[in-house]
Amino acid sequence: MAIDLSFNDTQTMLRDSAREFFGAKLPLTKLRERTTKGDFSEAIWREMADLGWLGMGLPEACGGFACSLSDFYAFYLEMGRQLVDVPHLESVVVAGGLIAAAGRDADHATLAAIAAGDTVVAPALFEENGGHCADDVHLTIDGGRLRGRKMYVRFAGQASHLLVAARDGGRLALFLVEATQPGVTITSLPNIARTPLYRVDVDLLVGELARIGGGRDITAEFNEVIARAAILLAAEVAGAGERILEFTVNYAKERSQFGVPIGKYQAIQYLCTDIALHYRHTSLFALHAASREGEEDFLLRASLAKAEACRAAGAMTFASHEVHAGIGFMEDYDLQLFTRRAKLWENLYGDRRAHLEMIARLA
């Protein structure tokens, strides 16, 4: 089956407006200057809300608008290209997607607050070994009490609410809790990516009002939403790869050795070609997976895209370091920012091994 690689008008508009906005508001120089605490700019978050980007894919009744996964793909290419570190994936795509999929009218106020930028919801889904599907959720609720630990929760320290996944009598359930309420302890986790990453310990009683989706099992919806997130991470890797290729080729043209630009040497050309192949492959896998949303093989395609992205993230930065040599590790150089973020992309919502195992089960 042929894949249409062209963007429609909506996707072109999203890509172009995102590139202009993020390039002006969040240049890589600001990312280098940011502390390891990893706070994001609330002013920029508000501007993103004003542009409608926090309502992507959310119900129109809640201030959102219809948005296909292919539309998201165009937007997330630019997120990766600029290494944008805001909780869009967490609050809008994952938390917003899960709450919307639950289909409870009582949750419309939360979705409206997400779309308006008034509320940031951090998904606290997985435990010590991370995860990429409902089978990886092990925390249980007993007698209405949530007690346990969630790991690697992005933006928990900046969130107003947490969306906690737990097992209730064998069924998968979600609970919306305030991040600052007694019984919730949030601890920062230093990490090479310098992204806001936290450990969340919970020990609190939760009522039925906190339960998203009532008493039904939401395993299918959970897996669909996490698959979307995995595809969008692959889109970020593809966008980053395009940027890495650009500055690597430019460096190979400008840096001279033995009287000629190093780009004249075949070994350097091979490395640049490797970067191009990895980013193109990732882009193709992610775009194809996005186009399969709602189809029977969607989860399989999502795992294929994420597995390829996990491989590409490290391979592209490694090849670029081979070209740049020592300067690529300098703090005031852009490449090290992409190398750091690659470690996050390789592990968030399932590493390569986890997705290869998923492919083996689904294929």
CATH number of domain containing 161: 2.40.110.10
Question: Do 132 and 203 belong together in one domain?
Answer: yes
What was the pLDDT predicted at 363?
Answer: 87
| Whether the model pTM is above 0.85 | yes
Cα separation, 14 vs 71, in Å, equals 8
- Residue after which a domain boundary falls, among 58, 85, 116: 116
DSSP character for 127? B
What was the pLDDT predicted at 17?
Answer: 98
Low-confidence ranges of the chain (pLDDT < 70): 1-3, 34-39
What was the pLDDT predicted at 325?
Answer: 94
CATH number of domain containing 85: 1.10.540.10
Domain membership flag for residue 3: no
Query: How far does Cα 359 stand from its chain's mean position?
Result: 20
Could you tell me if 171 and 131 are in contact, meaning their C-beta atoms sit under 8 angstroms apart? no
What was the pLDDT predicted at 214?
Answer: 76
What was the pLDDT predicted at 32?
Answer: 79
Domain that holds residue 23: 9-116
Domain membership flag for residue 90: yes
Cα separation, 289 vs 233, in Å, equals 12
First to last CA, the chain: 17
Cα separation, 282 vs 157, in Å, equals 31
Question: Do 126 and 54 belong together in one domain?
Answer: no
Question: Do 99 and 157 belong together in one domain?
Answer: no
Domain membership flag for residue 128: yes
What was the pLDDT predicted at 36?
Answer: 44
Measuring CA to CA, which residue among 277, 281, 275 is closest to residue 263? Answer: 275
Question: Do 88 and 125 belong together in one domain?
Answer: no
- Residue after which a domain boundary falls, among 212, 234, 252: 212
pLDDT tens digits, 192-221 = 999 999 999 999 999 877 899 777 899 999
